[in-house]
């Protein structure tokens, strides 16, 4: 019983430290001019185009 209580306390303590919002450095844009323009635009602004996913 003591081990289960320990796990429960550990879970409750660490679960409260999870951030409310998660942000990442990825985004999607629509560029009607085509893939060549997208690659050039990304390169000029220091980004890497991963293509369509």
pLDDT at 17: 66
Within a domain: 40: yes
pLDDT at 32: 93
Within a domain: 52: yes
Within a domain: 43: yes
In whole angstroms, what is the distance from residue 44 CA to residue 24 CA?
21
Within a domain: 22: no
Within a domain: 42: yes
pTM for the complete prediction? 0.49
- Distant-in-sequence, close-in-space partners of 42: CB < 8 Å, separation ≥ 6: 48, 49
Q: Which domain holds residue 37?
A: 27-53
Within a domain: 44: yes
Within a domain: 9: no
Within a domain: 15: no
pLDDT at 37: 93
What does the pLDDT profile of the chain (53 residues) look like in tens digits?
688 888 888 777 776 666 778 788 888 888 999 889 999 999 999 998 988 86
């Amino acid at each position: 019983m003591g081990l289960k209580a320990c796990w429960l306390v550990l879970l409750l303590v660490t679960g409260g430290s999870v951030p409310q919002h998660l942000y990442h450095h990825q985004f999607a844009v629509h560029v009607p001019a085509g893939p060549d323009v997208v690659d050039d635009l990304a390169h000029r602004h220091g980004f890497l185009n991963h293509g369509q996913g």
